[in-house]
Structure 1
Amino acid sequence: MWVTSSTSNVKTPTAIALGNFDGIHLGHRQVIKPIIELEAEYIPTLVTFTPHPQEFFTGKTRQLLTPLTEKVKRLESLKIRQLVRLPFDSSLASLGPQAFVEDILVKQLNVKYISVGQDFRFGKGREGNAQMLQELANNLGIFVYITKLKTLVSGESGLRISSSRIRQCLAVGNVRQAKEMLSYPYSLEGMVVRGQQVGRTIGFPTANLQIPADKLLPRRGVYCVRVILATEEVIKGVINIGSRPTVNGQVPTVEVHLLDWSGNLYATFLRVQLEKFLRSEQKFPSLDALKNQITQDCMIARQTLSQDV
């Protein structure tokens, strides 16, 4: 997939899905679907913004459900052929809706077809909405498809699917509902780096994952997980996300223990799918107490992951 932040390098003509698309959840997939169906005529292109407009206006770093590398993998699996990351700066922020359509979408991206969500907003001060985009583009001979908001069909039926709601789920450890909205398990991935090796001393060696700095971490605590190795082998495991207060840890770490598996994982790439929150991070009075709790965690994880097939 072609990835660019410069409109001078864009491959045209394009059929675009326009938005931020953090997470590539079920709602996003509905917006993306129409442009994939036009691949015989136009280049299916996702157009997004970097940094996120909210980050630009607040000055606060925004953690992402899908950092760039992960987003590219998911988009490739959906047959998106191009990702355009428009630099969101003061110049772009000051463009009114009509100027954005004419100067960016038409002149620079050579857009022939646009797909957006029902709640899409654009232009200076978020003045433009999906209907305005449709009117402006139609006047220029460009068709705009507006996708209705996606809701859950099970569990909390009628609950709107959004990146914000997924973030709320992850903040409380509800990875199961996050999975339902994403259509895939929320995952943490990265290279295995050397840690303090405390786990080895109590019989539970762990792989210390180096997660991208802009990846959103869920609620601190212990989860049962499925670990995908570089060979695509899937191993059951438990993961601890936190600062390890029992051993006076200071820096948050992501450490995964693989159940019934042994081997050297240093400098290998792992993808860890979060399946269920088990317990909050806590400080134990001794290493023996910690060891006993981890033993229980592993037992529960085996049972849970054996049931979830």
Structure 2
Amino acid sequence: MRPFSYVSAPDLPAALDAVAAGARPLGGGTNLVDLMRADVERPEALVDVTALPLAGVDELPDGGLRIGATVRNSHLAADKRVRSRYPVLAQSVLAGASGQLRNMATVGGNLLQRTRCPYLRDHAVGCNKREPGSGCAALDGVHRGAAVLGTSEHCIAAHPSDMAVALAALDAVVEVQSVRGTRRIPFCELHRPPGATPHVETTLAPDELITAVELPAAPLARNSHYRKVRDRASFAFALVSVAAALEVRDGRVAEVRLALGGVATTPWRAREAEAVLLGAPATEETFRRAAAAELEPAAPRPDNAFKVELVQRTIVATLRQLAGGRLAEGGAA
């Protein structure tokens, strides 16, 4: 590990000053410190933000929730309001990592974890995320877990977060602060697709710090679910995942939110599928058409082509579960 300086920020202004001076914020460290040990991340300074007053889950006037950036993942999943109003979020958190890591990891840190494949750590081969311009070894190498949506010739790594998939479906808003002031970012605008600069993963400025995530009031979210398909039951990234919320009235889809994980370079809001679903009969035929529309632009590689069908089946299964007995007549498979 390379030398670096460390300071624990006593308050938010001190943390913002440190970040403006080039320090990297440190929460649980479950990703950042790991990558420092692998000589992938090389910060010259760290500012510990865990003492800041950002560890609460608070009510908003509209009935939504404000989640502080240093809330531990395990605390978020256990919050009764999250579990009752936004079950998809609680389920996504519990599907991520291990119990030990959830006890350390923070909400802000989860959103800023690196999008990565095995080659990020492999200094013997090219990785445009680790060393811009060095190439993407995954294109013709090991890419079973790679993305099929939002990729470029420079990177095909799949975004790893489970929580972020749920937040994308819930229309969350990210609050960020700097010494210049505060701004709010719609969640689906926080992460950047790789394009020609895969090492630039978010729309944050270098001096900005995530301070909170806000969930708008959403009665629809009470009927929501997170479904994750992976190689083993715990401590594994998603091969595919689906975060969905659904309301069916009179046999038709009245409202729907849908996001995908494990298949895209960012937390993927399934806008095309939502457009097909909205107002259509709540049948498995409709669910299949919507899933197919979302995956139409997929660009799989030989070893991850299975994800295209797998995520479509997972979308259908998740929507079927949420529709329950409200499937339109004749809609059962």
State the TM-score, normalized to the length of structure 1: 0.31
State the TM-score, normalized to the length of structure 2: 0.29
Larger Rg: 1
